Amino acid sequence: MSHYTYILECADGSLYTGYTPDLKKRLETHNAGKGAKYTRGRRPVKLVYSEEYDTKEEAMRREYQIKHLKREEKLALISSQ
């Protein structure tokens, strides 16, 4: 089973980082307004970055690292993909 770390860009331009084992379902959930509290009022959301990992631990570790990046660093990460 694959595990994903991702960055979503919300309609207001804000960036949201998360982890999921099912990226397609998570994106649909966010766009339906049922996702994380942070993105509920900021839909639609667009997937702008994702990484795939073999284990949950690796994906969650990477999510933690990305969450603590400054906005400019996240944008650089997005543009490098």
For the chain, report the end-to-end CA distance as a whole number of angstroms: 23
Q: Which domain holds residue 66?
A: 3-79
Work out the percent of the chain whose per-residue pLDDT is above 90: 83
Instruction: Tell me the residue type at 14.
Output: S
- Domain of residue 41, CATH code: 3.40.1440.10
Query: Total domain count for the chain?
Result: 1
What is the predicted pLDDT for the residue at 40? 82
Q: What's the pTM?
A: 0.91
Q: What is the pLDDT of residues 43-56, one digit of tens each?
A: 899 999 999 999 99
- Residues 6 or more apart whose Cβ sits within 8 Å of residue 34: 40
What is the predicted pLDDT for the residue at 18? 95
